[in-house]
């Protein structure tokens, strides 16, 4: 159990929580995942969530799917991973299949195109919101080295359009080395 947890989630709780996340955040589940795990259920602290989500970036596949598996297995092992995974992907799979059939039939309607454009704007707003929330613990520490590493990765990937694997091959060893040196100074 984590420092933030009040009680470990049961299998049904995992399934329902991830199903709610997937249904609430269709196309942008990370926002709802963080809110449910950190703020609502208090199953993890903000730092634990960030660390777990960072780990999920290095695993193959979509990050939020990886998060469901890692999170579920952390509390309930393989059954927990399956419950969280099924909750995350099951309901949207049914909805997408239904919508695909409807879109194939009515996709040429102008009102549908305008509605989809509006939904994409909402998704971008949610993404900015969760990025800010995940950045808050880093900003609270006011660690100039961590902020410089963050800014360097942002500039390299976001502005200079360098490939993510190349940037990570430089940033990961650099951040590990900086952390190692910083811990050596504190000891």
Query: Quick one: three-class SS letters along 121-183?
Result: HHHHHHHHHHHHHHHHHHHHHCCHHHHHHHHHHHHHHHHCCCCHHHHHHHHHHHHHHHHHHHH
pLDDT score, position 15: 96
Q: How far apart are CA 12 and CA 97, in angstroms?
A: 24
Whole-Å CA distances, 98 to 95, 102, 155:
5, 6, 40
The secondary structure of residue 40, as a DSSP letter, is I
Mean pLDDT by 10 residues, the chain (187 residues): 65 94 78 90 92 88 92 94 95 88 84 83 83 82 83 92 92 88 77
State the greatest distance between any 2 C-alpha atoms of the chain, in Å, as a whole number: 66
Q: Give the pLDDT confidence score for residue 163 in this predicted structure.
A: 93
**What is the pLDDT at residue 3?**
47
pLDDT for 26: 58
Q: Which residues contact 154 (CB under 8 A, 6 or more apart)?
A: none
CA R_g for the chain: 19
Place of tokens 């926002």: 31
Instruction: Render the burial of 142-157: b for 16+ CB within 10 Å, e for the rest.
Output: eeeebeebbeebeebb
For the chain, the domains span: 11-140, 142-187
- 75 Cβ contact partners less than 8 Å away, ≥ 6 residues apart: 8, 9, 14, 43
Rounded to two decimals, what is the model's pTM?
0.58
- The closest alpha carbon to 123, from 27, 49, 5, belongs to 27
Tokens representing 111?
């009102």
In the prediction, which pLDDT does 152 show? 92
Any idea of the CA torsion for 13, 16, 17, 22, to the nearest 10 degrees?
160
């Amino acid at each position: 159990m984590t420092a933030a947890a009040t009680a470990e989630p049961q299998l049904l709780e995992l399934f329902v929580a991830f199903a709610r996340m997937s249904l609430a955040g269709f196309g942008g589940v990370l926002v709802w995942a963080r809110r449910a795990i950190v703020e609502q259920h208090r199953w993890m602290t903000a730092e634990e969530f960030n660390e777990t989500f960072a780990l999920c970036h290095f695993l193959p596949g979509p990050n939020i799917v990886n998060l469901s598996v890692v999170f579920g297995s952390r509390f309930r092992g393989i059954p927990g991973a399956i419950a969280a995974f099924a909750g995350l992907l099951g309901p949207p799979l049914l909805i997408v299949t239904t919508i695909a059939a409807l879109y194939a039939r009515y996709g040429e309607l102008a009102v549908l195109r305008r509605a989809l454009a509006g939904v994409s704007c909402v998704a971008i707003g949610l993404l900015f919101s969760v990025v800010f929330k995940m950045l808050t613990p880093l900003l609270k520490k006011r660690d100039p080295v961590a902020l410089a590493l963050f800014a360097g990765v942002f500039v390299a990937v976001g502005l200079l359009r360098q490939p993510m694997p190349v940037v990570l091959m430089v940033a990961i060893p650099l951040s590990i080395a900086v952390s190692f040196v910083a811990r050596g100074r504190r000891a």
